Amino acid sequence: MKSSRSLDGAVRSNSDVSRMDSAEFVAHLDRRIAALTESIEESEVWRTVTSPDTDPELLKLVLREVHLEITLYQSEVIEAAIATIGQMPRSMKPKLVRLMLGHQAEEFDHGEMAMRDYVALGGDEAAARSRRPSPTALAVAGVWWMLARRRRPAAYLGALYLFEGLTPLVTSRVQQQLGSRGLSLGPLDFISFHATEDIRHTGMVHRMITDTLATCPGAAEDMDHGFDCFAHVYPLPGWEAALERARREYEARG
């Protein structure tokens, strides 16, 4: 499988996924996540977070603003995902639908988890709850709602696999970087939780994809498209917006 980057930096697929069996398709998604991880590691925001030369105060501000991004889109993503699951073909086994809905139930309060860490990092909870969503958070939510609106429900699984496959990789590396510098920025429950829990969730989504392809053999193209759409807006645009906000505040503090 080859991947390419568009002018906006998103990693896109060049493979004919319709010819893949379920194991090949999941391996294909894993390669796409690996390619996206490489792109992330080349980004300015990643260099800022992982550099030993970054002032801990700037690092704290960047992580605070990343958590704000999460709080601004998370509830919309959950709602859109549940709406999409409701569109699955009625030939699907109920236990698979229960697995999908159960996974969303486990994710249900993660926006609040991010909010708690945002506040612990110095954020203003009242201001965060009353503000408009950032353009980048709105774009994330918009992709998920469009997947629901287009009524191609299998596409959500491709986007979901990106969510669950990428998150433990980046959160565990952030944990390692903080530990290597001996920095303590508080408990940061969102990072510590997702560094481990999303490994289990990735396995859950793997099963969802495999069982959905058994019911809907042509769904791989929709799943790959869902991955494409989500990779266009996640995660770098939101992280870059967080870095910009953090730098403005850092520089204003002098």
**What pLDDT does residue 1 have?**
42
Query: Does residue 19 fall inside a structural domain?
Result: no
Query: Does residue 234 fall inside a structural domain?
Result: yes
As for how many domains the chain has, the answer is 1
Give the list of residues 6+ apart from residue 122 with CB closer than 8 angstroms, or none.
Answer: 60, 61, 64
Q: Is the bond preceding residue 235 a cis peptide, omega within 30 degrees? A: yes
The reply to whether the predicted model has a pTM over 0.85 is yes
Tell me the CATH number at 217.
Answer: 1.20.910.10
Query: Does residue 14 fall inside a structural domain?
Result: no
Range of the domain at 70: 27-37+55-253
* pLDDT tens track for 137-196: 999 999 999 999 999 999 999 999 999 989 888 888 887 777 776 666 666 776 776 666
Tell me the C-alpha distance between 81 and 18, whole Å.
24
**What pLDDT does residue 8 have?**
44
Query: Does residue 8 fall inside a structural domain?
Result: no
Query: Does residue 97 fall inside a structural domain?
Result: yes
**What pLDDT does residue 183 have?**
64
Instruction: Report how far apart, in Å, the C-alpha atoms of 62 and of each of 59, 92, 101, 197, 243 are.
Output: 5, 43, 32, 23, 5
Residue 73: CA atoms inside 13 Å, Cβ hemisphere, count?
Answer: 26
**What pLDDT does residue 124 have?**
97
Query: Does residue 22 fall inside a structural domain?
Result: no
Give the list of residues 6+ apart from residue 121 with CB closer than 8 angstroms, or none.
Answer: 60, 61, 63, 64, 67, 185, 186, 188
Q: Enumerate residue ranges in the chain where pLDDT < 70.
A: 1-15, 181-187, 190, 193-199
**What pLDDT does residue 5 have?**
47
Query: Does residue 49 fall inside a structural domain?
Result: no
Query: Does residue 4 fall inside a structural domain?
Result: no
Closest by CA to 8, choosing from 252, 170, 240, is 240
